Structure 1
């Protein structure tokens, strides 16, 4: 049994998303292989979650139907339902069962704000989700798809509690987006010649010395440098084993939010430069 906020037992913090319950049911079906005793096993745990006692069904078909009812009732309280499913899996002595990582992936896929960190079930920090970067239509469709897919992957990793990979993914996306500026005109007689993140940002910053853009690009480089340093964020070039500190959940969310904001800003600046008439950037 998982440990969680005892208040959830008496007042539901919210119901479980229907697609999550459906995935739980599908997994149970794969585990049962038609065996009534497996349906009965899970039915007992779900019934207990909503304060009831399950009675034996007359056959496997009725056991499955009764299981569906018990799951639907338990799903009215998301954390108790998650606990019932996970605990029932761990207590099932009938072959391999899903581990907590699989359950977390299901929860993250459907944006359920819970995560299992054995022996605990925790509720994720509240807050508005990060807005997806608005990708300029002038970018090739392949580039647009890559940006959206990478952003979604970072958010999925973050929801699963894989904080360092989540920041790594969004940092990779930042560096990737910066390459869109290669060859872009920044004045009547010059264009971006750099091929890598630091040189590209340096050229953009030089063009805008003394302006807000200069400061913004400076902050961007500072964040990138810190996350790259082994004794700093330890995200890009590995973590210093003696001085490095693992990324916490709060830090990971902050980094992802900041980097996503910078990505959106870079994309807007790219759109401004590429949409402007020659010599007017």
Structure 2
């Protein structure tokens, strides 16, 4: 069980195997109904239906463009790698790390906007906050300003020690642990913002006539 602790379904299987072994030795162990009740209480996403372990929810991640024409191959590779790793971490019950991976990608994509804009108003920030603030100034009064505000709200909460704690550690007294279903929501929200940023970048680089991207 210690060895498999990083993988939710493998850990559950290991626990069940332990229970079976102990029961054969004459010790009292929780039955299937009790274990399933605990899994449901913690929204683990799995249920024991002997002889199988069944996933109780099927998630479809928000689609993110796989190939952004205005970005180079290195950037596309980073997008693919981070999205795939985030999904893998979600599948094995590592919600906080999955959110951390997708947040890293969101921060990275904003750097693609450096130098864009009018000659007197080019974006020159180095970090996520300054980048977004400069972008908001250029989009004042438009829908984009509100979208960027929502994006920074999500980023700020997830980065805070009393929020997601994915950047600066978690406050041990006031921090809020990310639950599996919350991690999925945060990742999907971040994916939506990634799509928005990629489309904004493509429009600013190549105009609105760009060809559609294939789905990830």
Larger Rg: 1
- SS of equivalent residue, structure 2 residue 166: coil
> Is the Cα–Cα contact under 8 Å of residues 133 and 260 in structure 1 kept in the other structure?
no
> Which residue of structure 2 aligns with residue 165 of structure 1?
97
| Pairing 1:225–2:168 present | no
Residues 227-272 of structure 1, C-alpha deviation per residue, up to 9 Å, x if partnerless?
A: 1110112122111000112100110000000001101100110111
Write the distance in 1 (CA, Å) between the matches of 2:199 and 2:74: 18
Write the distance in 2 (CA, Å) between the matches of 1:228 and 1:115: 32
Structure of greater relative contact order (alpha carbons < 8 Å, 6+ residues apart): 2
| Pairing 1:196–2:196 present | no
> Is the Cα–Cα contact under 8 Å of residues 96 and 164 in structure 2 kept in the other structure?
no
> Which residue of structure 1 aligns with residue 84 of structure 2?
152
| Runs of 4+ residues deviating >4 angstroms | 113-116
> Is the Cα–Cα contact under 8 Å of residues 115 and 160 in structure 1 kept in the other structure?
no
> Which residue of structure 2 aligns with residue 139 of structure 1?
71
The correspondence of residues 7-156 of structure 1 with structure 2, limited to 5 A, is: 87=17, 121=53, 123-156=55-88
Write the distance in 1 (CA, Å) between the matches of 2:95 and 2:59: 17
> Is the Cα–Cα contact under 8 Å of residues 64 and 192 in structure 2 kept in the other structure?
no
TM-score normalised over the length of structure 2: 0.70
> Which residue of structure 2 aligns with residue 251 of structure 1?
182
> Which residue of structure 2 aligns with residue 238 of structure 1?
169
Gaps of 5+ in 1: 1-78, 92-112
> Which residue of structure 1 aligns with residue 144 of structure 2?
213
Deviation at 1:129, TM superposition (A): 3.0
> Is the Cα–Cα contact under 8 Å of residues 135 and 267 in structure 1 kept in the other structure?
no
- How many residues in Structure 1 have an aligned counterpart in Structure 2? 170
Residues 19-72 of structure 1, C-alpha deviation per residue, up to 9 Å, x if partnerless?
A: xxxxxxxxxxxxxxxxxxxxxxxxxxxxxxxxxxxxxxxxxxxxxxxxxxxxxx
> Which residue of structure 1 aligns with residue 40 of structure 2?
none
Structure 1 residues 115 and 190: alpha-carbon distance in aligned structure 2, compared to 1, 3 A threshold: farther
| Pairing 1:263–2:202 present | no
Structure 1 residues 191 and 250: alpha-carbon distance in aligned structure 2, compared to 1, 3 A threshold: same
Deviation at 1:196, TM superposition (A): 1.1
Write the distance in 2 (CA, Å) between the matches of 1:275 and 1:189: 21
Deviation at 1:189, TM superposition (A): 3.6
Structure 1 residues 83 and 248: alpha-carbon distance in aligned structure 2, compared to 1, 3 A threshold: closer
